[in-house]
């Protein structure tokens, strides 16, 4: 048995996220966890920039739950940072098309943060990946938006979907960070957490 499983054998790890991608990625660490869905108002102070936004929102999600002494809460947030502003989840198809048109033929950052919280410990970290999109045609953008409806995704796209296959020229950093959970950072945080 590897050490994380051993370390947390008397604890309940709770992933507070509605994202099936985060759940799938976390299960790759071979730890047992439960998923709970939380509804948190995802507004943030307007002065925050880039990684500060992702960290603030991940931390806000963690603070919405009060862990019992045998529980570890794990929350995460992802933003797309392009031309000095955050692209969040699009409200509708028009907004998704607008976002992808902005990202087309350019480079952006994907910032994913993660927070671990126990009754005695609370820490938030983040990871950054750079993604380069080739120029996308209007037809490609519309096909993707109307077929895949990426309204639950920051920046209006999922790397693991068609647009990622045909549109992404280059990624510098972790593929998992772009998917929405910096798995290596999660592993390191769980190793660090004092029980």
Q: Find how far residue 134's CA is from the centre of its chain.
A: 23
What pLDDT score does 30 carry?
92
92-123 pLDDT per residue, tens: 999 999 999 999 999 999 999 999 999 999 99
| Catalytic position from the list 10, 41, 77, 92 | 77
Torsion of CA 180, 183, 188, 189, to 10 degrees: 40
Residue 77 annotated in active site: yes
Q: How far apart are CA 150 and CA 93, in angstroms?
A: 8
What pLDDT score does 3 carry?
85
Weakest-pLDDT range from 3-7, 24-28, 42-46, 92-96: 3-7
Are the beta carbons of 57 and 77 closer than 8 angstroms?
Answer: yes
What pLDDT score does 1 carry?
52
50-66 pLDDT per residue, tens: 999 999 999 999 999 99
Q: Is the pLDDT of residue 73 over 90?
A: yes
CATH for the stretch 3-192: 3.90.950.10
Indicate the pLDDT class of residue 195, thresholds 50, 70 and 90: confident
Query: How much of the chain exceeds pLDDT 70, in percent?
Result: 99
Q: Which two tokens stand for residue 96?
A: 């998704």
**What pTM was estimated for this model as a whole?**
0.94
């Amino acid at each position: 048995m590897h050490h994380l499983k051993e370390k947390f054998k008397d604890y309940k790890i709770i992933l507070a996220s509605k994202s099936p991608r985060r759940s799938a990625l976390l299960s790759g660490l071979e730890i047992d966890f439960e998923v709970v869905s939380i509804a948190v108002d995802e507004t943030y102070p307007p002065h925050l920039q880039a990684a500060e936004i992702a960290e603030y929102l991940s931390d806000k999600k963690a603070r919405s739950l009060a862990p019992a002494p045998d529980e570890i809460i794990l929350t995460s947030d992802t933003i797309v940072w392009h031309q000095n502003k955050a692209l969040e989840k699009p409200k509708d198809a028009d907004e998704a098309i607008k976002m992808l048109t902005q990202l087309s033929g350019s480079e952006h950052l994907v910032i994913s943060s993660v927070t671990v919280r126990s009754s005695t410990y609370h820490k938030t970290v983040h990871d950054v990946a750079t993604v380069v999109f080739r120029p996308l045609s209007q037809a490609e953008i519309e096909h993707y938006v109307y077929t895949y409806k990426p309204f639950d995704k920051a920046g209006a796209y999922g790397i693991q979907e068609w647009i990622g296959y045909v549109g992404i020229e280059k990624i510098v950093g972790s593929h998992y960070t772009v998917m929405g959970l910096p798995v290596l950072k999660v592993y390191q945080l769980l190793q660090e957490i004092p029980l």
